[in-house]
């Protein structure tokens, strides 16, 4: 039974780390009709400068990054002008939290060794990075992090800086995820055995603090996207609180004592 529980928690931790929610709709181009902003013309196959196509296979009949042979990708035939910059992909994203940190990742693949993709990445019109794809015919991953500023939307754009007919490339899996705010990483307790239980939990959790029965604590629970889903204040050790309204999955929790962070740990809710 104990071994089974350990395996369950280990699998849950793996899932937590690897399968965060993508905050960009259709970032994997699974839908050929989902809209995004671009200076390119939609033509399939993309055989003329300034064309793009969403298809199962890209340049040299090579497949999608995540689901080879079945998934879609963005296939780009570069422009034929040197002195212009062109928007390849742009979209405004709703629902990001001001002050929170996010990670943006994406994959590029050159048509061949002479068609190097060079993309400038802009977040809310600010240049955050320039991606130089050096791989010849193979997928290459790029990523950056940014902190959400004010405003209800966040604008993300990829602009091609290789504006000649040698800038042909494929793009796939544009992925945006929340990065936990500073301090939201697991850490040992600064006091002996301060934790939430049971773990896994079902309908309720309770706080256990070694050698304490009356001191008040505050608890925060975060979901996999980094959002606070529950705040419990003035909690006495041994006092249960309800989590039956939370979806099954892995959560991060923080325990405070008199505004001092005591511990940050993980808990699985069934």
User: Long-range pairs for 245-252 at CB < 8 Å and ≥24 separation?
Assistant: 246/221, 247/223, 249/12, 249/16, 249/223, 249/224, 250/12, 250/13, 250/15, 250/16, 250/224, 251/221, 251/222, 251/223, 251/224, 252/180, 252/184, 252/186, 252/221, 252/222
| Tens-digit pLDDT profile for residues 46-90 | 988 889 999 999 999 999 998 887 899 999 988 765 546 889 999
More confident residue, 184 or 17: 184
| Tens-digit pLDDT profile for residues 28-43 | 999 987 789 999 999 9
> 229 with 220: CB under 8 angstroms?
no
Q: What share of the chain is helix, strand, coil (3-state, %, to 5)?
A: 5, 45, 45
Sole residue written with tokens 């943006």: 104
pLDDT value of position 176: 93
What domains does the chain contain, in order, with CATH numbers? Answer: 19-179 (2.60.120.260), 194-269 (2.60.40.10)
> 26 with 183: CB under 8 angstroms?
no
> 104 with 121: CB under 8 angstroms?
yes
Closest CA to 236 of 260, 212, 253: 212
pLDDT value of position 41: 92
pLDDT value of position 67: 81
| Tens-digit pLDDT profile for residues 219-262 | 999 887 778 899 999 998 888 999 999 998 888 888 888 888 88
More confident residue, 188 or 202: 202
> 86 with 159: CB under 8 angstroms?
yes
CA distance 216 to 213: 9
| Tens-digit pLDDT profile for residues 168-195 | 899 999 999 876 544 444 555 555 578 8
User: Running DSSP on this structure, what letter comes out for residue 156?
Assistant: E
Classify burial at 46, counting beta carbons within 10 Å of its beta carbon; exposed 0-12, middle 13-18, buried 19 or more.
buried
| Tens-digit pLDDT profile for residues 110-167 | 988 777 888 999 999 999 999 999 877 899 999 998 888 888 899 999 998 875 556 7
pLDDT value of position 29: 95
| Tens-digit pLDDT profile for residues 93-123 | 998 877 777 889 999 999 887 778 889 999 9
Question: Please, how many CA atoms are within 13 Å of residue 66, restricted to the half-sphere of its CB?
Answer: 16
Q: Is 41 strand, coil or helix?
A: strand
């Amino acid at each position: 039974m104990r071994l089974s529980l350990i395996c369950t928690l280990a699998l849950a931790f793996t899932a937590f780390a690897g399968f965060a929610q993508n905050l960009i709709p259709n970032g994997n181009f699974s839908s050929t009709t989902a809209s995004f902003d671009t200076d390119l013309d939609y033509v399939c196959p993309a055989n003329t400068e300034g064309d793009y196509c969403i298809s199962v296979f890209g340049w040299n009949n090579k497949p999608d990054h995540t689901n080879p042979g079945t998934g879609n990708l963005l296939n780009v035939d570069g422009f034929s002008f040197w002195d212009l910059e062109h928007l390849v992909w742009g979209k405004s994203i709703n629902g990001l939290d001001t002050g929170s940190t996010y990670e943006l990742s994406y994959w590029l693949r050159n048509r061949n060794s002479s068609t190097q993709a060079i993309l400038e990445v802009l977040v809310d019109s600010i240049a955050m990075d320039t991606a130089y794809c050096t791989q010849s015919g193979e997928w290459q991953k790029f990523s950056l992090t940014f902190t959400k500023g004010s405003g209800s939307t966040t604008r993300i754009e990829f602009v091609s800086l290789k504006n000649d007919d040698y800038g042909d490339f494929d793009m796939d899996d544009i992925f945006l995820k929340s990065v936990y705010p500073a301090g939201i990483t697991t850490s040992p307790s600064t006091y002996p055995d301060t934790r939430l239980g049971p773990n896994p939990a079902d309908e309720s959790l309770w706080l256990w603090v070694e050698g304490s029965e009356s001191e008040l604590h505050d608890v925060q629970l975060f979901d996999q996207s980094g959002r606070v889903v529950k705040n419990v204040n003035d909690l006495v050790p041994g006092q249960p609180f309800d989590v039956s309204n939370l979806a099954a999955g892995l959560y991060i929790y923080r325990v405070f004592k008199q505004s001092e962070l005591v511990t940050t740990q993980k808990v699985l809710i069934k």
